[in-house]
Amino acid sequence: MYSFEYQRPTSVAQAVATLRAQSDAKPLAGGQSLVQAMKLRLARSSHLVDLGGIAELRKIAVSGTEVTIGAMTTHAAVAASADVKKAIKGLAALSGGIGDRQVRNRGTIGGSLANNDPAACYPSAVLALGATIKTTERSIAADDFFKGLYETALKPGELITEVSFPIPQACAYMKFNNPASRFALVGVFVARFANGVRVAVTGAGSCVFRVPEMEAALTKQFSPDAIANIHVDASHLNSDLHASADYRAHLVTVMAQRAVMAA
């Protein structure tokens, strides 16, 4: 690991000011991805800005129509929240299945979304639920946030402050995970709303993506049988030592059917 200076601001304003003052400063959320990359010298920064001391970024609030979660809220806190379980059960279940206990107690929703790992679980929930990512500068719709491999719409110095999830009529997440890392080889989140169904897939490609054909079929008939013969194009999916692109394409349909059944 390369040497760096460590700073721990106590407000969002202080964090933004520190990040803007140093061109290569990086925000540190839970550290479950960044610290590992730094240990391997795959990432470096002269300054780390630890967001862990900012109390205003840790919250869970539920209204009649949405659930709002602060960026520094841990996966474990979301999974354990009675309010989240009641409002969006599938989101709580997804959070409880991320990594192991250490990861769930250190990792945060904001850190996960900003990192945008292609096999992370949270992006599928954010995209399928049509969430809004609120930052220090603006509000970004989920459909506009995820841009590609480890790439988002965030600009330098821009921090996620909270994520607002519309409450669906029903939803569920199903993941076929790597048994060692518990990252998703393929994970599918299905959310049903009064105006239609949204389906988001993680782990299969370079970035989380929606499946319009499944959404249209499930909007007409919310049943596993409605999507049994719908298959995604494998030519744009990941192929590695864990699973081929063709196998991942097969898993998308299987996991989507299981998610619909669970929902």
Q: What are phi and psi of 253, to 5 degrees?
A: -65, -45
User: Does 67 share its domain with 180?
Assistant: no
- For residue 133, list its beta bridge partners: 140, 163
pLDDT for 126 = 98
Identify the CA nearest to 82 among candidates 101, 100, 60, 66: 60
pLDDT for 22 = 82
pLDDT for 183 = 87
User: Does 150 share its domain with 44?
Assistant: yes
- What value does the mean pLDDT of the chain take? 94
User: Does 155 share its domain with 248?
Assistant: no
60 to 4, 11, 116: CA distances (angstroms): 33, 18, 22
pLDDT beyond 90 at 36: no
Question: Please, what's the b/e burial string for 83-101 (b: 16 or more CB within 10 A of its CB; e: otherwise)?
Answer: ebbebbbbbbbbbebbbee
Rounded percentage of the chain residues whose pLDDT exceeds 90 = 82
Give the domain range for residue 20: 5-166
Return the CATH number at 209: 3.30.390.50
Q: 234 vs 24, which has greater pLDDT?
A: 234
pLDDT tens-digit readout, 202-239: 999 999 999 999 999 999 999 999 999 999 999 999 99
Q: 80 vs 37, which has greater pLDDT?
A: 80
Strands 196-202 and 151-152 come out as unpaired
Identify the CA nearest to 250 among candidates 199, 210, 191, 204: 204
User: Does 98 share its domain with 180?
Assistant: no
Rg of the chain over CA atoms, in angstroms?
18
User: Does 145 share its domain with 178?
Assistant: no
Q: What is the mean pLDDT of residues 101-123?
A: 95
Q: Is the pTM of this model over 0.85?
A: yes
pLDDT beyond 90 at 33: no
Q: What is the mean pLDDT of residues 38-48?
A: 82
User: Does 160 share its domain with 236?
Assistant: no
Identify the CA nearest to 105 among candidates 78, 123, 87, 81: 78
**DSSP character at residue 55:** G
